[in-house]
Amino acid sequence: MVQIKYDGWEKILQIQVAYTGEPFVDFITQRIIMKRTVPKQVYIGFTGATGGAQESHRVVNWNFTSSELPEKSLKTAMGLCKREILLVIVLPVLFGLLILTAGMIPFAVRAFRKNKERKQRHMEIENLSQNAANAPNVFKYRTLSKATKNFSKSNLLGIGGFGSVYKGQLSDPTKTIAVKKVSATSTQG
């Protein structure tokens, strides 16, 4: 004997088998949403095949009942509809992220202010050292490159452990300068 049951509320398909007079034994118990696998209208019947051998198959008794379930029972496999998933999972996650972000704002503002203050102190020190009487002149790379004709070999004065020294000519005011271009591959210093 075979007994097939489907619980539309719990979404459980259960198939049990037994010999005549014996108790049923679970053969398959599976969670399945029939709405996804079985069309709305179906035919129920029996078929059998034995290949080349002859057998006698008999349906001694059968009972099929079906009832329309309320829409509420036709939920997803987790047992939640889309609106409930949104309310139960997505909104708390978004709310948690919002709280976390709001909690991080004071730390970000404090770090931004410290960084700004550090840069401002550094600029003040730079200005003080550049304006001192014995401070060295500060040039942009572009100015030094132009003065040495793009560090041409014709202006090369010598090569040392830290890099090459070039002769340069500044135009405003007119000055002859020596420019050391530090080598990236230097092993000294």
pLDDT tens digits, one per residue of 114-128: 999 999 988 887 777
Q: Which residue has the higher pLDDT, 131 or 182?
A: 182
**What residues make up the domain containing 66?**
2-71
Residue 123 lies in a domain: no
CA distance 176 to 181: 16
64/96 same-domain check: no
CB 13 within 8 A of CB 29: yes
Instruction: Look up the pTM and report it.
Output: 0.33
Residue 130 lies in a domain: no
Could you tell me which residues are annotated as the binding site for ATP? 181
Could you tell me which residues are annotated as the binding site? 181
> Which of 46, 71, 96 is the last residue before a domain boundary?
71
Residue 105 lies in a domain: yes
Residue 98 lies in a domain: yes
Residue 35 lies in a domain: yes
